[in-house]
Amino acid sequence: MNIIRSLVTNRILPMAGRGNRAENQQLRVLRKLLAKAHNTSFGREYDFIGVLNSNELVKAFQEKVPVHNYLSIKKWWQRSFDGERSVCWPGKIPFFALSSGTTDQASKYIPVSLEMKKVLIRSSLRQIWHIARCKNVPAETVAKHSLMIGGSTDLNFNGINYSGDLSGITTGNVPFWFEPFSKPDMDIRKKRNWQEKITEIVNEAPNWDVGMVAGVPAWVQIIFEQIIEKYNLKSIHDLWPNLRAYIHGGVAIDPYRKSLDNLFSKKVYFFETYLASEGFIALQTKDEADGMRLLLKNGIFYEFIPFNERNFTDEGELKEGHEVVWLNEVKENEEYALLISTCAGAWRYMIGDTIRFVNKKNFEIKITGRTKHFLSMCGEHLSVDNMNQAVAKLAAELNEPINEFTVCGESYAGLFSHHWYLACDAMVDAGKAKERLDEILKELNDDYAVERKHALKEIVVDILPSQVFLDFMRAKGKEGGQNKFPRVIKNTVCEEWKSHVLAHFANKN
C-alpha cells in the first residue's frame, strides 16, 4: 500500500501546484503551442510567427486563426491520417481516437500526438493522486486494484497509424509500476467484442480486490449487476469491500445515481472527469466539489463562446460575428461553447460541448450539454443540464431508477410538443410521470414554463425497459465503453429510434 501511494504522490505532486495566475499559465500554454507548431503546414498558413511577434498574443491568434468545427478542420487532419508529417502538429501523428459517443453521428478521427498521449496518461494518474489525498476516501483505496472499463486496446493499424477508442489508446500504455494494480488484464482489455469482455470481467471479478472503478455509468452498472447476479450477492461490496471511489465522465451522473447506489452497501465517492477525445480538460479534485477544475497547464489553450442567441442559431450552428472570450473574461453561471487549441493539432476547435463556470476562483466547471443537443423549438431553451436535473428529481420522487432517457421535438396540432422516452424497469404510471416531469421542468426553466402556456402545447412520456435503449445502441454499432445514448435526438436518428420502439411494442404484443 505504501509503495503505490508513494509512487502516485511522488510522480504527480510536482504537477499539482497552481503557480502563477491562471491567465499567465494559459498565455504560456498558447505561446508554447504556437512556437512548437509554427513550422507546420497549418502554422505557416495562419502565420504563427506573426502571432508570436504580436504585442497582444490572444487577440492576434483570434484574428489570424478562424474557429473550426470537425468538418472544417477535417481536411487538415485527413492529411495527417494519410501519413503526411507536420500538418497541424510537428512530426507524425501515431494515433487517432475514434470519437463516436452518441448514435447521431459518424465516427470522427481525432489526432492524438505523442505529447498528447503523455498528457492524457499523466492527467489520469493525477486524478488518482487527488483521490489518494481526499480526506473522506480510506487510505487503502488507491492501493487496491483499479478496474478500468473502456474500449479495446487492440487498435486498428492502417500501415501508417493506429486508431481506436481513446481509452484503448491510453490504457494500453499504463506506467509499468501501475500495471499490477490495473484491471482487467491485457488479454481482456484487447477484446473488441463487448459482450465477451463483460463476461470475462464478471468471471475474473472474484480474483480482484477493487478499490476504484472507472467507466461510463451505464456499462459500470451492467457489469456490477451481472456480478451480483452470478455470485448471488446482495451488493457489489460483498465481493469488493474496499470499493470506495468511482471515476466517471462522458455523461451526467445524476440519472444513474439511484441505480448505482442500489448496488452498493457502503459509501462510494464519485469523482467526475472531463476526458474528451481531444484532450483531458478538467477533473474533480475533491469529493465535495461542485464542479471539475479546469486543467490550465495541460497542453490546451481554452476559449469560450457565450452560448446564446447572439452567437448560435436555434439548430446550434455558430453565427457570423460571434463573440469569443478567454479565461480572463468568463463569468460564473453563464453557459459557453468550448474552443480548444491543443498539443495534438486542434486549433480553435469547437468540440461541441457547453460548459458553465460554477466557481471562477477555482476555475471549476460543469458540462451542461452539447451545442446541438438541446431543444428550442419555440423559445423554450431546454438544455441537457435541465433535462438531467429533471429526470434525476423525478427518479428520486418515484423512488425508482431511470437509467436512460432521450427526448425529441415534434409537431403537435400546428404547434409543438416534446416526446420523452424514459428507461425504467419498474411499473411506473406514465401519466403521473408526465405530469410531474412537466412541473419540474417548469420549476427549472422559466422559458419552458412560458412556452408551455403558448407554443409548446404538449409533452408525451413513454416508459420503456432499459434493454430497449441497449438494443438500439447495439443495432447502431455503438455498444461498449465510451458510447452513450444522446439526450436529444433529431431528424433521421429520431425516426430510426421511433421505428425501433414500435418494433419493441409489436414484438411485446
Which three cell numbers, joined as nine digits, stand for 335? 453557459
Closest CA to 71 of 322, 368, 372, 422: 372
What pLDDT was estimated at residue 32?
97
Q: Determine the Cα–Cα distance for residues 386 and 441; give it in Å rounded to an integer.
A: 7
Which three cell numbers, joined as nine digits, stand for 42? 497549418
Q: Determine the Cα–Cα distance for residues 34 and 30; give it in Å rounded to an integer.
A: 6
Residue 13 binned pLDDT confidence (cut-offs 50, 70, 90): very low
The reply to whether 479 falls in a domain is: yes
| Backbone φ, ψ for residue 382 (5° rounding) | -90, 115
275, 305, 336 — which closes off a domain? 275
264 shares its domain with 399? no
Which three cell numbers, joined as nine digits, stand for 14? 510536482
Q: Specify the higher pLDDT residue, 147 or 172.
A: 147
Which CATH number is 433's domain given?
Answer: 3.30.300
Over the stretch 442-488, which tens digit does the pLDDT of each residue have? 999 888 988 898 889 999 999 999 999 988 988 887 776 567 788 88
What pLDDT was estimated at residue 50?
96
Task: Count how many domains the chain has.
Answer: 2
| 215 neighbors 248 (Cβ within 8 angstroms) | yes
Which three cell numbers, joined as nine digits, stand for 94? 501515431
Residue 114 binned pLDDT confidence (cut-offs 50, 70, 90): very high
The reply to whether 240 falls in a domain is: yes
Task: Provide the phi-psi class of 414: left if phi over 0, else alpha when psi is between -120 and 50, else beta.
Answer: left
255 shares its domain with 396? no
> Residues near 90 by Cβ (< 8 Å), separated by ≥ 6?
36, 37, 39, 40
Residue 180 binned pLDDT confidence (cut-offs 50, 70, 90): low
**Is a pLDDT exceeding 70 seen at residue 104?**
no
At 371, the amino acid letter reads: T
- Residue 427 CB neighbour total at 10 angstroms: 7
Which three cell numbers, joined as nine digits, stand for 458? 404538449
**Is a pLDDT exceeding 50 seen at residue 6?**
no
The reply to whether 488 falls in a domain is: yes
What pLDDT was estimated at residue 80?
96
Q: How far is CA 282 from CA 100, 127, 323, in A?
A: 20, 10, 23
216, 247, 275 — which closes off a domain? 275
**Is a pLDDT exceeding 50 seen at residue 440?**
yes
**Is a pLDDT exceeding 60 seen at residue 134?**
yes
Which three cell numbers, joined as nine digits, stand for 254? 445524476
Task: Provide the phi-psi class of 69: left if phi over 0, else alpha when psi is between -120 and 50, else beta.
Answer: beta
Choice among 91-105, 205-219, 281-295 with the minimum mean pLDDT: 91-105
244, 275, 306 — which closes off a domain? 275
Q: Is the peptide bond before 90 cis (omega within 30 degrees of 0)?
A: no
The reply to whether 389 falls in a domain is: yes
Closest CA to 46 of 55, 33, 438: 33
The reply to whether 461 falls in a domain is: yes
Residue 406 binned pLDDT confidence (cut-offs 50, 70, 90): very high
Over the stretch 277-301, which tens digit does the pLDDT of each residue have? 899 999 998 887 789 999 999 999 9
The reply to whether 177 falls in a domain is: yes
The reply to whether 95 falls in a domain is: no
Q: Specify the higher pLDDT residue, 267 or 380.
A: 267
What pLDDT was estimated at residue 486?
84
Q: Look up residue 467 and give its DSSP letter.
A: H
Task: Find the domain containing 248 and state its range.
Answer: 118-160+169-275
What pLDDT was estimated at residue 482?
62
Over the stretch 32-88, which tens digit does the pLDDT of each residue have? 999 999 999 999 999 999 999 999 999 999 999 999 999 999 999 999 999 999 999
Q: Specify the higher pLDDT residue, 232 or 453.
A: 232
Residue 15 binned pLDDT confidence (cut-offs 50, 70, 90): very low
The reply to whether 237 falls in a domain is: yes
